[in-house]
């Protein structure tokens, strides 16, 4: 089943939308990513390039996008390439298409823009993408972080940090003034949150039997969980925290109160396991899932890193 790679073309919008909504992610909890338009996640970047995989019938069976971003590694800030929204129709997987798209993005975008250091983010369990990347580029490095999912109705009892491990993983919004202000909210205390739901929303497609039974059991002992935990077919509107650190995290409840007033569902917080942010918020998180930053440049677990919230 040969596939031809082409730059994004708006003529395929309806078919791309159908492809994206047909792809379910996860196992125990299956999610569908919902977007109003294929490029909703890309419009927040100044420079990006999208490509499509078209089969012999003229149908899109794969997508991928790359954007130019900034990143800080050990206090050195530089431009980097970010790859995302890589999706392949189930019938076309394990045929080398992902590797083809990776090389295509390098040729058509990363090299054209002079981006010599590039990365993507992926779930810890996404072994196929790690294998794909190892074949597409000469060397890869993995850097681990986690997502915490905090209900906006939750409150942190003692949002103070007296002593904690050093915070190596940081999230910010580079070039904040150059972005449409409708995408983010900043607080005077330094904290901010990005309106992730404007890029995409998450639909709970299915909750596995074992997890469903576990949730039911937990609700018997913690009745308030019924207000926190999503159900099948729920559509989640999330925001993502940025600029959080050990000095300003004490204001987290103020931010959560505002989000609840605005009828937002969940606050996503990215951090490293056992750092000061994780230790403070983990008890209020209804879900903790591991992620990697996969890079084509040296990146080690003890490196201090700052990523743009748009890349999460």
What confidence score (pLDDT) does residue 312 get?
94
Give the separation between CA 152 and CA 155, rounded to whole angstroms: 8
What confidence score (pLDDT) does residue 108 get?
97
What confidence score (pLDDT) does residue 238 get?
92
User: What is the DSSP secondary structure assignment for residue 236, as one 8-state letter?
Assistant: E
Domain with 54 in it: 3-311
Ordered per-residue pLDDT tens for the chain, 312 residues: 689 999 999 999 999 999 998 887 766 566 778 899 999 999 999 999 999 999 999 999 999 999 999 999 999 999 999 999 999 999 998 888 988 999 999 999 999 999 999 999 998 877 677 777 777 777 899 999 999 999 999 998 876 665 556 799 999 999 988 899 999 999 888 999 999 999 998 877 566 545 555 555 555 555 555 556 666 667 778 999 999 999 999 999 999 999 999 989 899 999 999 899 999 999 899 888 899 999 999 999 999 999 999 999
Give the separation between CA 61 and CA 16, rounded to whole angstroms: 8
Contact between residue 243 and residue 72 where contact means Cβ atoms under 8 Å apart = no
Q: Which helix (H) or strand (E) holds 100?
A: helix 97-105
Give the separation between CA 264 and CA 256, rounded to whole angstroms: 9
What confidence score (pLDDT) does residue 206 get?
62
Contact between residue 25 and residue 32 where contact means Cβ atoms under 8 Å apart = yes
How far out from the chain centre does Cα 245 lie? 20
Two tokens at 67?
Answer: 């954007």
Report the CATH number at residue 266. 3.40.630.30
Closest CA relative to residue 193, chosen from 272, 250, 266: 266
The CA-atom distances, in angstroms, between 43 and each of 19, 68, 106, 194, 235 are 20, 12, 20, 14, 22
Parallel/antiparallel/unpaired status of strands 141-151 and 169-172: unpaired
Give the separation between CA 251 and CA 253, rounded to whole angstroms: 6
Give the separation between CA 137 and CA 120, rounded to whole angstroms: 13
Give the separation between CA 54 and CA 176, rounded to whole angstroms: 36
Contact between residue 242 and residue 195 where contact means Cβ atoms under 8 Å apart = no
Give the separation between CA 281 and CA 148, rounded to whole angstroms: 8
Q: Tokens 């058509």: give the residue.
A: 108
Angle, nearest 10°, between helix axes 127-136 and 97-105? 50
Two tokens at 255?
Answer: 């931010």
What confidence score (pLDDT) does residue 137 get?
78
How many domains does the structure of the chain reveal?
1
The CA-atom distances, in angstroms, between 275 and each of 119, 135, 172, 204 are 23, 33, 17, 29
Give the separation between CA 285 and CA 88, rounded to whole angstroms: 31
How far out from the chain centre does Cα 250 lie? 25
| SS3 of the chain: helix, strand, coil, percent, to 5 | 30, 35, 35
Q: Tokens 């396991």: give the residue.
A: 273
Give the separation between CA 299 and CA 42, rounded to whole angstroms: 25
């Amino acid at each position: 089943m040969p596939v031809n790679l082409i730059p994004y073309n708006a003529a395929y919008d309806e078919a791309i939308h159908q492809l994206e909504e047909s792809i379910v992610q996860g196992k125990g909890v299956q999610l569908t990513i919902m977007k109003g338009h294929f490029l909703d996640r890309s419009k927040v970047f100044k420079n990006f390039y999208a490509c499509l995989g078209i089969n012999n019938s003229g149908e899109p069976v794969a997508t991928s996008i790359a954007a130019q971003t900034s990143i800080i590694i050990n206090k050195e800030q530089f431009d980097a390439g970010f790859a995302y929204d890589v999706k392949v129709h189930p019938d076309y997987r394990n045929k080398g298409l992902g590797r083809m798209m990776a090389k295509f993005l390098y040729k058509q975008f990363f090299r054209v823009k002079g981006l010599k250091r590039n990365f993507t983010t992926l779930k810890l369990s996404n072994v196929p993408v790690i294998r794909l990347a190892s074949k597409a580029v000469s060397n890869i490095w993995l850097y681990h972080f986690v997502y915490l999912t905090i209900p906006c109705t939750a409150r942190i009892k003692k949002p103070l940090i007296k002593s904690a491990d050093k915070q190596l993983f940081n999230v910010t919004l580079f070039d904040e003034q150059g972005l449409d202000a409708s995408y983010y909210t900043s607080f005077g205390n330094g904290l901010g949150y990005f309106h992730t739901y404007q890029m995409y929303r998450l639909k709970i497609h299915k909750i596995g039997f074992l997890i469903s039974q576990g949730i039911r059991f937990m609700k018997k002992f913690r009745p308030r969980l019924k207000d926190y935990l999503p159900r099948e077919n729920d559509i989640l509107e999330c925001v993502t925290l940025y600029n959080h650190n050990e000095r300003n995290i004490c204001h987290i409840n103020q931010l959560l109160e505002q989000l609840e007033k605005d009828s937002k569902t969940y606050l996503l917080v990215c951090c490293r396991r056992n750092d000061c942010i994780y230790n403070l918020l983990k008890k209020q998180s209804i879900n903790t899932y591991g992620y990697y930053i996969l890079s084509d440049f040296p990146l080690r677990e003890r490196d201090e890193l700052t990523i743009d919230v748009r890349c999460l």
